[in-house]
Chain A
């Protein structure tokens, strides 16, 4: 349970406990957005269980990855508010 992994969020390195979700890792920077809506508003995780798609982020260059259903791994690169 003490294992930690290192991810990069918008260029900033962050060390988180293993099995932290990407949505949770993004929230460690404070309450803020994961994506921008079609009219440009910041949005963040809503349902927490893979239904609403509000937590989608870019992971390792792949767009539209659900942050709440993705676990942090060493070296993972996360980009928000795309």
Chain B
């Protein structure tokens, strides 16, 4: 069984992880950067067949990839955290144990995907989901697309779809027009963000609305939306709906890091230290805040892991972006319409085809899982657990390993690795 030893393991190759890994590797530490996607960049700098790497990613690749003390592990899943300071990984179907002295969690965020009638039809994706798929080469030219849900990501997703030839029929935002207007006015305080928002502005932006149902038999052909009390059905080839982002904290919870009860984010102190010694966290797993915040947090986490003082400027920059993140969170807080429970026969758990009504009959998440199998499929409740948290207020619980479906060989290796010394 192969055991690899590094000084600093970084999990997640988005803006936070890339920044942390670069600083740590350039300081001379032996660094491993682990990510489950085939190529580095995370969601924001996702590379694809038609996309050259973003300038910041290209710079990172130039400066970091060739360092001898840097190991990039793409297409690599973290299966478990067995024993002290070890991660069980699966790469190309083969197990690998990584032993580390310090760990930086930069596991990012996923979309909050809330059920609606017809959301299991092919053609329904997340909003960020659509963007990721298009970046991966999915053609949308000539398609009519309704983007819905909440947050600035909707405009970014709509922009990506449009630039790839889709006709964006509507962008339906659950936040009220008043909240959106206040938020846009407040952007004057951060010009870069304002420019971004204006550049993405679309005439079909519909605040105060939600998706009610997607229509179709084998795929989506129309979608009914409700904007400020009025229902309307639009012809659509795709519906891309996501209600903001949720921190990815599966590994953090399994390690025992403390998290925030309210937003589920990993607790960190001013130096990006988690509640566990030698475990640091940066980026959206510590709270949703965008690429700039993630990047500066990654820098601070690297400094803390290396045991060197960070420039006070970095701290100020982080605090500035955090203030911006709070404004975004307030403006796009989920309202009653977005949180409203859907009809009992709407599928809640897509892995096991369990309806909202079946789950609602139980007192808590554990009971519902035991009786209905909801949350027990391949996604391990990452999708339906969030919906259950919104509808029933059930807290998300720590996942048991393996954190993702892995091969049985990998699990056998996990057991063996407990007895294997570091080579």
A interface residue numbers (CB < 8 A to B): 1, 16-21, 23-25, 27-28, 31-33, 37-39, 41-54, 56, 62, 64, 68-71
Contact = CB atoms under 8 A, between A and B. Distances in A.
Nearest to A41: B120
Given A24-B136, A48-B132, A52-B113, 6 more contacts: A1-B52, A17-B49, A17-B50, A39-B353, A47-B128, A49-B128
Interface string B71-90: 00001000000000000000
Contacts of B378: 53, 56, 64
Contacts of B284: none
Nearest to A4: B49
Interface string B125-150: 11011111100111100000000000
Contacts of A70: 38
Interface size class of B (residues with CB under 8 A): 35 or more
B136 A68 contact: yes
User: Quick one: which of A41, A45, A64 has the most chain B CB within 10 A?
Assistant: A45
Contact of B43 (A16, A19, A37, A49): A49
A81 B238 CA distance: 20
B162 to A, nearest CB: 17
Contacts of B192: none
Contacts of B122: 31-33, 42-44
A18 B48 CA distance: 9
Contacts of A32: 122, 218-219
3 tightest A-B contacts by CB?
A: A48-B132, A20-B137, A44-B122
B133 A24 contact: yes
Nearest to B124: A46
A49 B110 contact: yes
B238 A31 contact: yes
B353 A37 contact: yes
19 contacts: A16-B49, A19-B39, A21-B38, A21-B137, A23-B133, A23-B136, A24-B139, A28-B138, A38-B351, A42-B122, A43-B120, A46-B125, A49-B132, A50-B36, A51-B379, A52-B113, A52-B382, A64-B405, A70-B38
A69 B38 contact: yes
B410 interface: no
Interface of B: 36-39, 43, 47-50, 52, 75, 93, 110-111, 113, 120, 122-126, 128-133, 136-139, 218-220, 237-238, 350-353, 377-379, 382-383, 405
B139 A27 contact: yes
Nearest to B382: A51
B138 A27 contact: yes
A8 to B, nearest CB: 17
A43 B378 CA distance: 14
A50 B76 CA distance: 12
Nearest to A53: B378
A38 B128 contact: no
Contacts of B350: 37, 43, 46, 52, 54
Contact of A20 (B39, B49, B129): B49
A49 B245 CA distance: 13
B130 to A, nearest CB: 7
A5 to B, nearest CB: 10
A47 B126 contact: yes
Contacts of A21: 38, 48, 133, 136-138
Contacts of A64: 378, 405
Contact of B128 (A17, A23, A27, A48): A48
Contacts of B111: 47, 51
B383 to A, nearest CB: 5
